Structure 1
Amino acid sequence: MINSKIKLACIIDDDSIYVNIISKIIDAKKLAENLLIFENGKSGIDYFETLLQNFSNELDIPEIILLDINMPIMDGWEFIERFTKIKNKFNTPITLYVVSSSINKVDIEKANSLSSVESYLVKPVKISELEAVFTKTA
């Protein structure tokens, strides 16, 4: 069993079944102590922008973000565009992974070309891939 050094991880995804499964795996494998969950990019970016405005505690800043691309209100691409502008204002390094059911080569290449994206994972994410994400960052 991996002992987590990840205090806080974040999932931004509108698929409640996927979120439920990933949350259970993260919990069962003790990959992160706490999880933040947002249903779309807008609520996710609002959280990060509020953190900056309030000079929040570093414990409120997730070390890992698992981001879906296709979501209502604000999709993953819009989130990345806004997040990239503020990411370096945080003292804590934040590692962003795009996690999508899209196997479209254009999406994968676009995500991998962005400096703020660590990697692109295709749903359903394997437990071993998830463990690798969390141990690589730890």
Structure 2
Amino acid sequence: MKFNNIFVVDDDLVYHFVIKKLFNKYNIEAEAKFFFNGLEAIDGLKNVLKTEKEPDLILLDINMPVYDGWQFLDEFRKLKNNMSKDITVYLVSSSNDSTDIDRSKQYRDEVKDYYFKPITSKEFEEMLTSAG
């Protein structure tokens, strides 16, 4: 699948670096926007609502300051009906806590899958091929 716009929502700069390297490895030439918390990402979504800049893909962490991943998903749920396209969201978190994994199932209409950090090249490739 070709991606035009990708949102990476994570407060970890090392993860940002790794994702950029994976984008290069897989020749993803999408416009990637990086946000350090869920509130920044929601504001970013509101700014691009119904434009050609809406993301095709969102890689979302759970544990972040200001708005965590769950708060982002609650707000995303309210906005998604106003979007011009379906957006694939993957949770990518270092949390292997069963509470978080179970909670992610409450967002099955929003979240396509849950991946653990550190994400491997193989998992990243799976994401790309199953997105959309």
TM-score interval w.r.t. the shorter chain?
Answer: over 0.9
The question of 1:120 aligning with 2:109 is answered no
CA distance in 2, matches of 1:107, 1:44: 20
Q: Name structure 2 gaps, 5 residues minimum.
A: none
Segments ≥4 residues shifted beyond 6 Å? none
Aligned-partner SS, 1:91: coil
* TM-score normalized by the length of structure 2: 0.92
Aligned length: 131
Q: Name structure 1 gaps, 5 residues minimum.
A: none
Pairwise CA RMSD of aligned residues?
Answer: 1.4
* 8 Å CA contact 1:12, 1:65 repeated in 2: yes
CA distance in 2, matches of 1:20, 1:97: 18
The question of 1:107 aligning with 2:90 is answered no
Aligned partner of 2:39 among 30, 42, 63: 42
Shift of 1:49: 1.6
Shift of 1:63: 0.5
CA distance in 1, matches of 2:96, 2:28: 26
Partner of 2:73: 80
User: In percent, how many aligned pairs have the same letter?
Assistant: 36
Partner of 2:86: 93
